[in-house]
Chain A
C-alpha cells in the first residue's frame, strides 16, 4: 500500500516563478517529513525537512508546509531556477522508526527559461 503519495508526476514552471509540489500521506504515525531532489544517475540530495510539531520550515528558497489535519505537505521553491529541474521526492518517517523512510513516487520538475 502506498502510504505516501505524490499525485502530480510532472510540473513545468517558468524560471523565476514559484514551484509548488504536493504530497499526501495516510499513516497518522508519520511525524517527520523530508524532501529530496534527485538528478538522473545520482543519489537523492536532502533539501529540507519538517517535524510534525511545526507547520512550516524555511531554508533559503525552499519552504515546506505541513497540514497534519489534512495529512498533506507541500514544498515551495521561490524563485525557481533552471538548476531546480529534477525529480523531487517526498518521504515520511515515524520517529520510533527513524531512518525507515516511505517515499512517494516523485514529481518531475522542469524549469523553463
Chain B
C-alpha cells in the first residue's frame, strides 16, 4: 500500500471526448506528478504540480492539463481525446521541501481506452 489512490481504475471514452482522472497523494506529500504509460513502454512524465501550480511539463500538448488542490490531491484532464491517448495513467506523490524526500510512490493507475 503506497497511500496513493487513483480513480477511476478503468474507463472507455470516445475520440474527441474529454476525461478527468483523479489522484489522492500520500499523507505528508505535497507534490503530485502524472505519467502516461503506453503498452510495452516505460512511463512518460506528463507534468508535476507543487503548491497548486504546474511545476514542470514533459513533451505533452496543452490539451493535457491538471489541477492540484489545497489538500494536495490532483486531477489530470485530457481534452479532444485521440486514439493514441489510450494508456495507463499513473499518479506519483512525493515530498519537496528543504529536505526533499528520497522516495516517490505511485498509485495503481487509471486505464483509459479511447475508441
Do A97 and B106 touch (CB < 8 A)?
A: no
Cα distance A36–B90 when bound, in Å? 13
Chain A residues within 8 Å of B, Cβ to Cβ: 4, 6, 32, 34, 36, 41-46, 49, 51, 89, 91, 93, 95, 97-106
Do B56 and A100 touch (CB < 8 A)?
A: yes
Residue of B nearest to A34 (CB): B104
Do B90 and A95 touch (CB < 8 A)?
A: no
- Chain B interface size, under 10 / 10 to 19 / 20 to 34 / 35 or more: 20 to 34
Do A43 and B106 touch (CB < 8 A)?
A: yes
Q: Which residues of B contact A98 (CB under 8 A)?
A: 31, 94, 96, 100
Do A43 and B90 touch (CB < 8 A)?
A: yes
Among B33, B40, B108, the residue within 8 A (CB) of A101 is B33
Among A42, A95, A101, A105, the residue within 8 A (CB) of B104 is A101
